[in-house]
Each structure stands twice: as C-alpha cells, then as structure tokens.
Structure 1
C-alpha cells in the first residue's frame, strides 16, 4: 500500500533515534500514570494463574513496544468500534455476500466520518498510519483493504506518480466524493507486468487517450473495490503515441462508474468476480474498456508525459527504470503485506495460547486435569509461533520506517549512490519478507486451529477466518515463490562484485555486509557442545551467516553449471530455483529478521525486567527457524555427528518450557480487546466454557427445528413428492 508523502516525513525520519531516547526517558517518568490510563487491568479469572507466574508485567512490555501516543490511538479506534452498533459482529455468523459487501462499505464510510487520521496526518506521521492499518485489520481485513486501497494505494499512487494537475482527484478522494481502485493485473497476466495488454493510444486531434481492451484476456481482473463500489480506477496500460510507437506501461486515471447512479460509464464493462476463499467483504472486480476516451491530463506524468502535439518525453531513458518507477507502489505494498501477515499471526497465537491455558484435559491422576499448555507437545506447536510473531513484528515496524526513508529520498529527488543502493536493498528485502511473513502466518494459523481441537474448527472462534483472510497475502502483489527470485538475483549480483571485482560490499541497511567475510565464515563449524550453549542467540546467528554464505556459493556454482548446459540464461535460472535460489532467499531474510531482533533485544534501552523474556524469544525464533535447514547444515559440513541436531532440538524444547509460564502475558501484550479479537474461546477473562456456551446459545435459530422439518416426517418417497408437485 503506497504512502502519500510530505516534507514532514523528513523531520520524522531524521529524529527517529532521538525520539526513541526521549520516549524511553518519558516512559520512566510517567509509567504508572500512563499504564493506569491507557492499559486497564485485565479481568480476574482462569488465566490469572499464568499471569501471576510471568516474570514481567505485561503492561511494562506494552509500554516498551509502543509509545503512549500509539497506544492512545489504538485504544480510541477499538473503543469507537465497540461503541458503534454498525461494527457489531456475532461470532461465526456468515453473512450473505451482498450483505457483507454492504456492511463493509458502510463501515468504511463511517471511518471517513470518524476521521481517526486525516490524509495529512497519515502522510506526516507514517507510524500512526501503520497503527490504523493494523487496527482495521485486527477487526476485519476486508474493511482494512477496502479503506486503504482507496486512501493509500489509489490516492498514494496518484500523489507519487502524478503532478499538480491531479490535485483535484486527490481532494475528491479525501472527501469520499470518488472511490478508487488500482487496476494493474489482467485475466491472463499478473506477475509478468510488462506483458499487460490494455492499450492507451494518444489522439493528438482531440488531446485524449483512448483506453482499449483488445480482448477478454486483457480484462483488468482481481481489482479490489472494482467489483461494486469504485468510481475510478488507476489503469495501467501500454502507452502508444499517434505515430504508433509503444512507450511501455503507464498509469491513467479512468472513471468507470457514474457518480450519481453508480452505473458503468459509456464503453466500460465492469463487474464482480465473485466469492473468494477469504476477505469477501472486499469486492474484487474486472473491467473491460471499449475505446474509452479520457482527457490527456489523466495520464500520471511523473515518469513520462505526452505533449499536446503527441511527442513523448521521460526523465528515464531506460524503459526498465521507467517501468520500475511506475510500479514503485508495489514495493511499499509488499512491506505493508508483511505487517498484515504479522497481525494475523498475532491474532492466531493469542487465541490458541489463551485457549491452551484454560483447556484442561488428562493429568497425572484421574482427579487432576492439566491445562493443555502444560504439555510439551502443545508448547512445541505454539510457542515458536509466538516467538516468530514478536520477531517479525519488530522487523515489519522497523522495515516500514526504512521504506519511509527511501520514499523521502524519492520525494526530495535524491540521486545519490546511497539512495540507489537503498532502493535495491529494500526491494530485495520486501520480495523475501512478504513470503516469509505470509507463509509463517499461514502455517501458524493452521497449527493454532489444530491445536484448539474441535473448538478451533468452530467458525465463531475465528481461526478459520484468520487463516482464509491471510491466504491472499501469499499471492497478491507478487506470488511468493516468484518474488523470492528477485531476492536471489540481488544476492547473486553481489557475488560478482565481491569475488570478481573485489568490491567491498556495503548496504545502507547492513543486511549483506557480512558477505564480505564469506571465505572466513565458510571455514566456521558448529561449536556448541551443550543445550546451555545453544540458549545464547549468537549460536543460531552464526549458523545463519554460514548458511547464507554456503547457499550463495552453491547457488552461484549451480547457475554457472546450468549456463554451460542451457541454450539461454532463462533456462539456466529456471533450473536453479529449487533447493538453490529459493532456499537462499528464505535463509537470507530469516537471518535479517533474526539479526534485527537480536540487536533490538540486546540493546541497552531494554528494561532489565524484560531482557530475559525477550532474549529467550529471540533465541527460540533463531533455533526454530534454523532447525528447518538442518539437512543443508549437515550437507555443507557445518554440522557433523549426532550432537548438533540433538542439542538444537533439546534447546528448542527447553526454551518452550521456560516460556510456557510467560506465554499468556506475552499474548496479553499483543492481543486486541475481546470485542476486536472476537473469539469466545480467547476472551481475556479466560472463562472458556462459559463464553463459548453463551455464544452458541445466542446463535440465530439455534433452538428452532429446521424449516424443512415436514420433509423428515413425511412417509412419501422424495421422487413421488416431487412428481406430485409438478
């Protein structure tokens, strides 16, 4: 989702480090008052036992993770929703598609009225915008997507890719006079954006562009908001000048529906693609254009423009650079999707861990039943995902701020080498962080669903919706497996620089600088001898550095071998993906996440009371992620014998045991209020059975006999009854 920028960002980004230091000091002075005002005590109940066992106060953790301004905004949004009847949801009720779409639109309209953040505030304080995205997503991702596709993706792209002549469109969007959508993908093309086939031909005689879909395969498809509500679309099309020359993909503002009737504009066929696996409150649609004429000024002209006489000009001479600049909003979208997936993971583990702490089954004696969280198997299934939620959450927040720094540079027309390298690094990281976060959330939601047994399968407990609503994160704005190729290409490009050109590798965010020591790193071996040794996070960090270096070397060699056999570079790269490029990209982003979280949790600013638990989470995330690569660690000779594999496994179990008593309070620090979490088995009071029973009895027609009861009581065969009715 693209962020509309203003010069206010500059002050915000430059002062981040200073603000953090000031906030830490301010927290120390006003912690008690702030906690009482911002964080009410949780209700006493079955979860209280685990809360007493925790080594820290969950409120202290919340105050460390977020500043008071962020917490206050989050509280305001959540309490507003809870007090507005329009936002009421009965757990597990599946609304008819049309009703769900209507409610989502009405709720979206209400958010405009509440004006939690003005457009200017979202532009001037991206941290608050990040909070708003997450809050809406915790409530319902259909609502969040509908709101931000209009206010950030559509309006943000107009602001960043357009010029002064598009101010009117932005003002109309702010007032909700128009509603926008982002129309890039087509029925037959998604990932391969260069092959998009919609055309925009300039007619110099009328000073208009003619938008045309050559056939149904060129129909814009999967476009959020387009199905029922969008009045305008940002349409990506191949720009042709009057002389018949194609200048590549450009963005055009096209009105697709009448503002008074919501009927299609002349020459536009627009509709809804139907029910999806999730996020059905969002109306994804399609559109075809039959020689639709739009004014010349509807071209977003930041990357290229056409004069009244029909000649084309661009600040980018290289068509590839022009395409990259035109599609810049996709990179920011991937950063946002990383954060969206983390929200889903936090919701899922919050439900599963609270359930596990109150669900009692079996025990050492017939008279004693234990909470299932006490069982090692349940801890091993859930607590690593809790650690992943914390590590990925910090990465997504800090990475979002890196994106803001990049966008400030673009706004200020920074042409420095550092700005160029920052853009490449963020592109590479975002193309891997989206797959890592969305797959982790996908797998985590499923594990949480199963860990809650039959109650997890009950729709009202929300785990199915979380899983389904997360599913598109694995696909849109780039299929995960395809995106990982972008990251591996970036890393492989560094090999030549380091080894052939002897260039010292430097990156603005520092994610690849350890590769300068590749030869030294590859000489290292796994040296831990005991489980206690493995409880230090430097152990998985060192292993990850070796793993990335090893995979980079092996992937480079594999690519060279394939190039010798293949007739073209396309086949060579295609045959180097599985076990090589793909694994390399995933190991690289896992290392990056772990390194950031290690630096964060080992910083001197972390309160003493929080250091042990946060560092345990860091080590657990590192070892758990690393354990998926054990075959490669042995294959490459980093590990040998049975000891490394055994003590890594034992260390993971030991950390799960140590974190078991901390888990409920860790969840309390990241879970939204009961109304937002909307899961009877995961309410903060821990009254699992009372809450579930109450929710079941409040269901519609729960105690009524079926409307077709007479069919059960009838003695006539079904076929005979049907014939008598005809």
Structure 2
C-alpha cells in the first residue's frame, strides 16, 4: 500500500501513456522521474504542476479559444488571460524576492503555453515593477502594489524609432520646471518617439520612460527613468499630451500589443523621477551618490540585464519544446530499413541522431546556465537595492553585463537553428501548423533582436574582455571577477603555449574540449587585441578601430568565451559529487556532447593557431560526437520526458507523450466548446477561477482605436 507521500509524488509524476515510445523508454539507462526530481526539486515541480493544472482546467485557456482569432480579438483574449494569471496568484511579490527561480519558471510555463501571454505578463509584472524596485525608492513602491492588483498596467519605454542599442543617444527629454516642481516629458520629433514597447499598443496605463534629464540652465545629466501615466485606467483613453498607438501585425506573438508613444509637453510630478541613481531638489539642483557619470549610466540601464537574462531562458524553453516534438516524432516515425525487414524508427539513423541530439544536449546545458545566471543577477539586483557601491558590486555588474550580452545571442541563435533543424527533421509533418514548430520559430525570432541586436551585443562582451587584457598589460592587474568566469586568463601565456594532447578516450569527456576552449579564448583575445592595436597604429580612430575588429576577431571572441562559460558550468554541474550515481553517466554524456559539438565549428581556428597539428585531432572531435550521439540515442526519449510539459501545453499533434501522431485538423468553429464561442464578448473579471471571486480592477475592454490622438494637446 502506497504511503501518502508516495501517492502525492505519483500524482505529481504520473506514468506516461503507453504507445510507440514505450520501447525507447524501456531501454533508457536512467529513471526520467529521478532525473526530473534531481534537476527541479519537489517544490519547483509542485509549482509548475499548479500552473499547468490551472491552465488546463480553466475554460479561458482552452486551446481552441485562440485558434484563428483576428488580431484584435487575440490581443483582447491575451489581456484577459494575463488578468486571470494574476487572479490565480501563482507568485506574490514576496515570493518573487525570496524564490527568484520561480519567476523564471512562471515565465517559462506561460511561454510554453503561449509567448504572447507570457511576455505580456512578464513585461508588466517583472520588467515594469523591477525597474521601479531597483531604480526607484520607497515613494514609488505603491505603484508595484497597484501593478499586482491590476489597478494599473505597465510597460518599459526605452527604445526609440532612431535609437535602440545606442541608448546613450536617446532623445526624449525631461526638463525640470522649479515653478511647478514638475518634469516636462517631450518628444522633439517622430524619430524620438518610443517604439516597439510591449503592452503599450493597447493596454498599458503607465510607462517607465527613459529620457535625458535637464535642470534649469539647460544642463543635461544624462539618461534617467521616469514614471509616466499614458492612459486612463478606467477607459484606456490617452492622457493629455500623449499620442499612443499600436504597431500592428508582427511575424509572431500577435497577442502582445507592441506600441509607440510621443509626448507633447507632458507634465509629471517631480516625485515621478525614479531617483535611486540621482534626484532633483524642489529648487532644481541635481544630486547623485555617483561621482562617475559612466557608472551612473550603467546603473540606469541595469534593468536591461534582467531582460537579456530572461530572454536566454525564453530561448531555452523554445529549444526544449522543439526538441521534445522532434525526438518523440523521430522515435515513433518509421522509414526504410534492411531489405525484407520491418521499417525502423528514424531516430536509429546516425544522421537523425547527429541532427537532433546535440540540440537536446544544448537544451540541458543552456538551461543550467540560464538558471545559474538568473541567480547571479538576483544577487546584483539586491546589491543595487541596498545601494552597494563597493568595488565588487561594480565588477559583478560588469561581469553579468558581459555574460548577458553574449548569452542572449548564443541562446537565441542556438534555439533559432535548433527549431529549424527540428522542423526539417520532422519532414512534411513538421511543416504542418499543428506541429507547432512554425509558431515556435516565429515566436523565438524576436529573441535575436529585442533588448539589443545580437551582433551588436557581442561587442559589449568582447569590450569587457579586451579591457581586462589592457589593464593586465598596462599595470599588471590580475585577471579575476566575482563569478570567476575570467580567472583562467591568469594563466594566459601558459595556456597559449599548450597543444592538443592527442586522440584517445578523453574525447568522450568534457574535460578535453574545456582545455581546448580555454586555449581558444586566449588565442582569440590575443588576436583581437593585436588587431585593435594595429588599427590604432595605422591612424584609425577608436571607433574605426573597434569597428574594423569585429568580424573574425572580437565577435568570435565573445561567442567562444560564452560557450566556454556554459560548458564549464554544465561540466561542474554534471561532475558534482551530489549527482546521484544512476544519473552521472547520462549527464556527463550530455555535457561532453554539448562541449564537443559547440567546439566543432571552431576547428579551423584550432588548426590555424596551432593547437591542433594533425588530421587526427579533427577526426577525433567528429568521431567523439557521433559516439556520444549513439550512446545517448536510447536515452533520448527519456531525456525529452524530463523537459517536456503536458500534452495540453506542448500542443503538438506530432509530439504527444504517447507517440501517437494525430494529424486531424482542428475542430471547426461549430464543434468547439460552447464557452469558447463567447470569449470575444468577455469583459475582465467575467469568469473567475474555481473558488475565486472576479477581480474588481477598473482596467477594461473594449480597447481604444488603433491610433489614439493626444487629448488636450
């Protein structure tokens, strides 16, 4: 007879349905339930189970409700769903501060269901409120409470039509008027209008607006953030002087209303300046605890690291979903085989293993990196809130900025390539909309662009590494950082003198590619620095010199450094003594496969720099990748079971847990559940979760027209 605890765990981790995937599950070398419990922990599993169960049992989240809705109705439904998530109260404000990984988990769970909903929720609940929490002071915290009560709805307005990555050149102004003790927010022209702001198109009532702060005498103190009301929460009409509009249909995530806004002499109280980095007295004197303007600017943009680190996690979720669909389909789909014998699953083919299993390993490695970096970021944010101005805090900020700036490109590009490979690996069935792979590809695509174009962001990471080398060469400063990601560079000359030790079984462990990666980063750092100095000696300006060093040098340096960091962290995780013995082999194989597969595109550089000297080294890398794919083939379905959400959330007809592909089209409108036909007429609060009253929030639909003219301007 099962104990209560065993019964509880059985409900939390039920057996998977039998079907075509059963044979692979029976051959797995480990228990998928044990690995899931080890990686997530019981508390996190219960948290995710609560979210998934709530979505599946609530008619508002019925999958057929959002199918083929016009964009305006899809956005209305996304708002209603976002509101419902707040009513469920999965995470209160205190929980977010005490258990930060649950923040990442909630965003991921909602994203697995629908990224429009997840991003709408995240931008309001985390990006908007986090900016207030870290950049504001106690006088602003009432807005956080209002946000969680859905009395207001927020957005984060940094990017402008003509300036995105170059935030320092943003042109929106905030002039202080001592006579009225107000700031005057103004957009000098259309190119200075806030653009691409999520939630601004239809639903946001308040915005954290970044603008150049001016005090009397036309003295500019640089970029600061301000709380600006842009709509009336009762009717969503624009406030006086605000022109706000929707940007229209996008390639994906059309349930999220991206918008733009222009401000015509909009007056806000002096207290609406988020004043942690600097304040203005009633008389108009600027005061700040930061003597260095560059440090003040860096702190003012600290919230961008939050966005970039979260995008890493979002990209990993997309990669997980795609790999789950493709591996399950490949294990069930049969094609060809020996003459006069049964066809075999396509997962048995070496090419299919080589196409998919490295992305499965990448999903595990990048997931661990994403979670660990998020915890590092929480440490940084707590320091910002305490107004910690120590040297360590400043160095931690620089290091996390460098990691996030390269981590977002690596994760989003890996997901982009992985989803496409998964789509092709599923053949024609993968091209069906009901496979969901097309939606995943479209929804992941903006991860490569927003919060900074990937190629531009990589320059931030290479600049960080080059500055460390310059300090080392000029005044003998040590290579060290709070998270120890650069500490290995202390052996810079010795590492450059190393050579590949030779082929052997060591290739099947992640220690060999780790050594190669350290050499590669040192080599690219030296090459980039020498190229930069050569450009300067030839007469190029600092801007021209850096611009001419990106391709084949600094860009490659940034990516190699981040890949090394991911490999190192996952290697340490897989080899930690706390890993249960039955799970060690599979985790170490995943670690080795990701390390070798990531390293393989750099083989040319390894030969060019002399680390590899004969053809056997390159062959060893290729052979080791194929050997590891073969060893992981029987574990692939179980590894997917660990990271797959319930079928309702995965929402793929070819990725079901039972392996039975259902290729029937979605039911026509007249056969959908009755409650879905009335979704378009729902008002906020019309349906409450079981046992919960409707909210009394004043935010309501119908929404205003697509372009709302300024009122009273």
TM-score by length of 1: 0.90
Q: How many residues get paired?
A: 669
Relative contact order, CA 8 A, sep 6+: which one is greater? 2
1:72 aligns with 2:43: no
Q: 1:409 aligns with which of 352, 371, 383?
A: 383
Asked if 1 retains the 8 angstrom alpha-carbon contact of 2:116 and 2:255, the reply is yes
Q: 1:314 aligns with which of 288, 296, 302?
A: 288
- The residue that corresponds to 2:229 in the other structure is 255
SS in 2 for 1:264: coil
- The residue that corresponds to 2:242 in the other structure is 268
Quick one: structure 1 residues 343 and 40, their matched pair in 2 at CA, closer, same or farther if it must change by over 3 Å?
Answer: same
- The residue that corresponds to 2:421 in the other structure is 447
- Following superposition, the deviation at residue 697 of structure 1 comes to 6.0
Q: Cα RMSD (Å) of the superposition?
A: 1.6
Asked if 1 retains the 8 angstrom alpha-carbon contact of 2:127 and 2:306, the reply is no
Quick one: structure 1 residues 143 and 697, their matched pair in 2 at CA, closer, same or farther if it must change by over 3 Å?
Answer: closer
Q: 2:136 aligns with which of 162, 165, 179?
A: 162
Asked if 2 retains the 8 angstrom alpha-carbon contact of 1:349 and 1:385, the reply is yes
Counterpart CA distance in 2 for 1:555 and 1:289 is 43
Quick one: structure 1 residues 31 and 561, their matched pair in 2 at CA, closer, same or farther if it must change by over 3 Å?
Answer: farther
- The residue that corresponds to 1:17 in the other structure is none
1:505 aligns with 2:476: no
- Following superposition, the deviation at residue 325 of structure 1 comes to 1.2
Quick one: structure 1 residues 233 and 697, their matched pair in 2 at CA, closer, same or farther if it must change by over 3 Å?
Answer: closer
SS in 1 for 2:26: helix
Q: Write the deviation string for residues 533-562 of structure 1: whole angstroms up to 9, x where unpaired.
A: 311211111110110011111111111111
Counterpart CA distance in 2 for 1:585 and 1:678 is 36
Quick one: structure 1 residues 361 and 701, their matched pair in 2 at CA, closer, same or farther if it must change by over 3 Å?
Answer: farther
Q: Write the deviation string for residues 320-377 of structure 1: whole angstroms up to 9, x where unpaired.
A: 2221111110012111111111111101100000010011111112441111111111
- Following superposition, the deviation at residue 504 of structure 1 comes to 2.6
1:400 aligns with 2:374: yes
- Following superposition, the deviation at residue 423 of structure 1 comes to 1.5
- The residue that corresponds to 1:550 in the other structure is 523
Asked if 1 retains the 8 angstrom alpha-carbon contact of 2:465 and 2:525, the reply is yes
- Following superposition, the deviation at residue 275 of structure 1 comes to 0.8
Q: 2:103 aligns with which of 111, 114, 129?
A: 129
Asked if 2 retains the 8 angstrom alpha-carbon contact of 1:226 and 1:284, the reply is yes
Counterpart CA distance in 1 for 2:631 and 2:460 is 39
SS in 1 for 2:643: coil
Matches within 5 A, 1:520-599: 520-530=494-504, 532-599=505-572
Q: 2:660 aligns with which of 653, 676, 687?
A: 687
SS in 1 for 2:459: helix
- The residue that corresponds to 1:187 in the other structure is 161
Counterpart CA distance in 2 for 1:50 and 1:441 is 25
Q: Write the deviation string for residues 237-295 of structure 1: whole angstroms up to 9, x where unpaired.
A: 11111222111111111111112221111111100011111111100000011111111
- The residue that corresponds to 1:3 in the other structure is none
Q: 2:452 aligns with which of 466, 478, 502?
A: 478
Counterpart CA distance in 1 for 2:121 and 2:66 is 23
- Following superposition, the deviation at residue 409 of structure 1 comes to 2.0
Asked if 2 retains the 8 angstrom alpha-carbon contact of 1:92 and 1:462, the reply is no
Counterpart CA distance in 1 for 2:451 and 2:626 is 37
Quick one: structure 1 residues 545 and 34, their matched pair in 2 at CA, closer, same or farther if it must change by over 3 Å?
Answer: farther
Quick one: structure 1 residues 92 and 312, their matched pair in 2 at CA, closer, same or farther if it must change by over 3 Å?
Answer: closer
- Following superposition, the deviation at residue 418 of structure 1 comes to 2.1
Asked if 2 retains the 8 angstrom alpha-carbon contact of 1:178 and 1:259, the reply is yes
Unaligned runs of 5+ in 1: 1-28, 703-726
SS in 2 for 1:368: coil
Matches within 5 A, 1:176-575: 176-530=150-504, 532-575=505-548
Quick one: structure 1 residues 34 and 522, their matched pair in 2 at CA, closer, same or farther if it must change by over 3 Å?
Answer: farther
- Following superposition, the deviation at residue 496 of structure 1 comes to 2.3
Q: Write the deviation string for residues 34-57 of structure 1: whole angstroms up to 9, x where unpaired.
A: 642320000011111100010001
Deviates more, 1:458-467 or 1:519-528: 519-528
Asked if 2 retains the 8 angstrom alpha-carbon contact of 1:42 and 1:684, the reply is yes
1:651 aligns with 2:620: no
Q: Write the deviation string for residues 551-587 of structure 1: whole angstroms up to 9, x where unpaired.
A: 1111111111111113311000100000000000000
Q: 2:667 aligns with which of 698, 710, 714?
A: 698
Asked if 2 retains the 8 angstrom alpha-carbon contact of 1:92 and 1:461, the reply is no
Asked if 2 retains the 8 angstrom alpha-carbon contact of 1:46 and 1:687, the reply is yes
Counterpart CA distance in 2 for 1:49 and 1:701 is 39
- The residue that corresponds to 1:631 in the other structure is 604
- Following superposition, the deviation at residue 91 of structure 1 comes to 10
Q: 1:82 aligns with which of 56, 63, 66?
A: 56
Counterpart CA distance in 1 for 2:172 and 2:382 is 32
- The residue that corresponds to 1:709 in the other structure is none
